Structure 1
Amino acid sequence: MIYFEDMQPGQEIKLGNYEVPLQEILDFAQKFDPQPFHIDARAAEKSMFGGIIASGWHTASIAMRLYVDAVLNQSSSLGSPGVDELRWKRPVRPGDVLTGSFKILEVKPFRKGIGLVKGKAQLTNQEDKVVMTFIGNGMFGTRPDS
């Protein structure tokens, strides 16, 4: 179990990889972000992107899934008050392999039994180019004996 006290500024956590399939891009966008360059191959070809790209919200969801699997499900996570500075740097295309990381920027006690952790999440593609970043803010429980 990862507790608040285990998290230190400067610590970088590898979140793993995720390959983004075309059908998942289409399904997510059809349901949540049905802009033509996400769901229509012809329209996407004519767009500034030159082909289908994933919704930025899909990309953010992938980052969240990687973070949940690598950190939150093994931790004393108590939720989040939100994210800051969400940036989509490059389009994510079908077949891209995204790699996630989370660098802890700041830790501070919040109230009895709870600490706040601020960190920078990042996704890079298979060419090691940054596709998305955000500053995440999380609440974590302290060790039961502290």
Structure 2
Amino acid sequence: MRYFDDIPDDYEAEIGTFALAAADVIEFAKAWDPQPFHTDPEAASKSPFGGLVASSAHIFAICTRLFFDFKDPIRVVAMLGKDKLRLPSPARAGTTLTYRTRCIDRRESESRPNVGIITLADTVTDDEGNVVLSQEVTLMVARRR
């Protein structure tokens, strides 16, 4: 478990990878974002995407799962916000996604001595190196003391 005190200014990590299977894309989308380019391979092939793509909500869920399954997890108390969220390329079914993060800001809390505040710049890329998600996430992180 990594606490605020364990996170250096130059912290970087590869959080994890996820194989984005077509069946998973369809199942998630049927429950949460039932647009044809997420749920129907034939309709998706005729869409501007030219094939089945994951819902943005699915990508967010994958990031959350990978973050909390990470072998060296950060002791998050709360997420304070997301900024600069971008989805520049579609996450295509059949690709493997890679989630990386790096610390871009770190400060002690002025009002709570038991936590610190960090901002992480996240990127998720596909097999070809295309960025499918980028964002900045501000987290309240527990301190060791």
TM-score by length of 2: 0.92
1:9 positional shift: 2.2
Counterpart of 1:4 in structure 2 is: 4
Q: Distance in 2 between matches of 1:100 and 1:117?
A: 18
Please show how residues 12-31 of structure 1 align to structure 2 within 5 Å: 12-31=12-31
Q: Which runs of 5+ in 2 are unaligned?
A: none
Aligned-pair identity in percent equals 32
Q: Equivalent residue of 1:78, what SS?
A: strand
Deviation track 1:59-96 (CA, whole Å, cap 9, x = no partner) reads: 1211221111116x733220211211211111111111
1:48 positional shift: 0.5
1:7 positional shift: 1.1
State whether residues 25 and 55 of structure 1, in contact with CA within 8 Å, keep that contact through their aligned partners in structure 2: yes
Q: Distance in 2 between matches of 1:128 and 1:99?
A: 9
Aligned residues: 143
List, as ranges, runs of 4+ consecutive aligned residues in structure 1 with deviation greater than 4 Å.
Answer: none
Q: Equivalent residue of 2:10, what SS?
A: coil
Q: Distance in 1 between matches of 2:50 and 2:4?
A: 44
Q: Distance in 1 between matches of 2:48 and 2:6?
A: 45
- Relative to 1, partners in 2 of residues 1:46 and 1:87: Cα closer, same or farther, differing over 3 Å? same
Q: Distance in 2 between matches of 1:97 and 1:3?
A: 29
Counterpart of 2:82 in structure 1 is: 83
State whether residues 8 and 106 of structure 1, in contact with CA within 8 Å, keep that contact through their aligned partners in structure 2: no
Counterpart of 1:121 in structure 2 is: 122
Counterpart of 2:59 in structure 1 is: 59
Q: Distance in 2 between matches of 1:89 and 1:103?
A: 19
